Amino acid sequence: MNHPAELGKDDVPGGTGASGASAPSAVPEETRRQGEKARAALTALRAEVAKTVVGQDSVVTGLVIALLCRGHVLLEGVPGTAKTLLVKTLSRALDLDFKRVQFTPDLMPGDVTGSLVYDTRTAEFEFREGPVFTNLLLADEINRTPPKTQASLLEAMEERQVSVEGSARALPDPFVVCATQNPIEYEGTYPLPEAQLDRFLVKLTVPVPTRDEEIAMLQRHASGFDPRDLSVVKPVAGASDLAAGRAAVKAIHLDPKVAAYVVDLCRATRQSPSLQLGVSPRGATALLATSRAWAWLSGRDYVTPDDVKALARPTLRHRVQLRPEAELEGATADGVLEGILAHVPAPR
C-alpha cells in the first residue's frame, strides 16, 4: 500500500535502520494467515472506492485505519469534495450497513438515538431504533446541531450503546461515526467542545482535487457517471476482514523506545508555548493505536517512529488548542505539530 499524502509524505514508513525496528513478537500462524488475507482485501478498497471518488486515497486509508481501531472519524473539507459520496462508497465496498443523518438546528437527540413510541395495538411503549443503530453512521455537518443533540452521540461513540429510560441497548459491531464539518462557514454553527472532539480517533482533511484529478472527474461525468448510482462498486471486504485485521493489529510488536517516543510527543504538546491545550493521555493511546494499524497495513509486524510521525497530525490535530495570540500570528495546529515532530528526537 503506497503511503498516503494526508498521513505525511515526508515520513514514509517501511525502512529499518534509523527507524528503530526491533524484533517482532511471535504471532500465531492462523492469526498471521487471516491477517494477510484481510490486509489484501482492505488494500483493494482503495481501487474500489476510486471507481466513484477521484484522488482521495489518503482519506480512504485514514478511514480504514479508524475501522481497524474501532475509532470515529471527523472529516473536514469545503462543500463539494465528495465527503458524503466517499463514506457511502466505502460502506458499499465493505458491505456494511450505512445510514446518514443531516444534522440541523432542530434535530433532537431522539432523532439520532431512537425513542419510545406508544403502540396503540398493544397499549405499550416500544423502542424504535434511531439511525445510530448501524455499522457506519454519517453525521453530516455535525456542527450545525445544538450541543444537546451533539452530546447524544457521546455515549454511542464511547460505550457503543444507547441508554433509553435506564435500559442500555448495544450497537452493532463494527460501529463507526464519520462526522463531517465545513471549515469555512461558521454562521449558525455550534463548534464541537474539546471533550467531544477527543472522542474522534482521527481528523482527516478532505482536500480539493488536483487539476489532473478534477479533469478526470469531469471526464467521468461527461461519460455518464451518476454519483447516486453505486452499482459499479462491489463488496471487496467485510466485517470478518475487519475483525481479522483488528486481531492482527493487536499482535503488532511495540518497542518500549517507540512507546516512549509517543509519550514524549504528546507531553511536548502540553509544554508548547503556542498551545493552551495539549494532547491528553487518551490522545497518546489513540496515536499508538493508529500507528500500529498503519504498520500492519504497510506489511510490517512492528511499529517504527516513522509510523508514529505519519499518523501524528491526523490523530492529534483536533486534540490541541492554539493560544489566541498564536492564532493571530497565523499559527495552525498542523504547523505546531510539525515543529514538535522536528524537535522531539526519535529513537534509533
Three cell numbers written together for 337 = 505539530
Residue 150 banded pLDDT, cuts 50, 70, 90 = confident
Three-class SS of residue 242?
helix
Q: Which of 21-25, 110-114, 173-177 has the lowest mean pLDDT?
A: 21-25
The answer to whether 141 touches 180, Cβ cutoff 8 Å, is yes
Domains of the chain: 28-220+238-251 (3.40.50.300), 252-347 (1.10.8.80)
pLDDT tens-digit profile of 44-79? Answer: 888 899 888 888 889 999 999 999 999 999 999 888
Residue 186: its pLDDT value, please? 66
Q: What span, in angstroms and rounded, lies between the C-alpha atoms of 113 and 103?
A: 13
What type of residue sits at position 80? G
Q: Which of 161-175, 291-305, 327-341 has the lowest mean pLDDT?
A: 161-175
Phi, psi of 274, rounded to the nearest 5 degrees: -90, -10
Question: Among 194, 93, 178, which residue's Cα sits nearest to residue 131?
Answer: 178
Asked whether the predicted pLDDT for residue 5 surpasses 60, the reply is: no
Find the mean pLDDT for residues 199-216.
Answer: 92
pLDDT tens-digit profile of 155-205? Answer: 888 889 988 777 888 999 899 999 998 877 666 688 888 888 889 999 999
Q: How far is CA 306 from the centre of its chain?
A: 19
Q: What span, in angstroms and rounded, lies between the C-alpha atoms of 38 and 346?
A: 31
Which H/E stretch holds residue 34?
helix 29-49
Alpha helix segments (H runs only) across 50-182: 57-68, 83-93, 109-113, 147-159
Q: How far is CA 334 from the centre of its chain?
A: 17
Residue 9 banded pLDDT, cuts 50, 70, 90 = very low
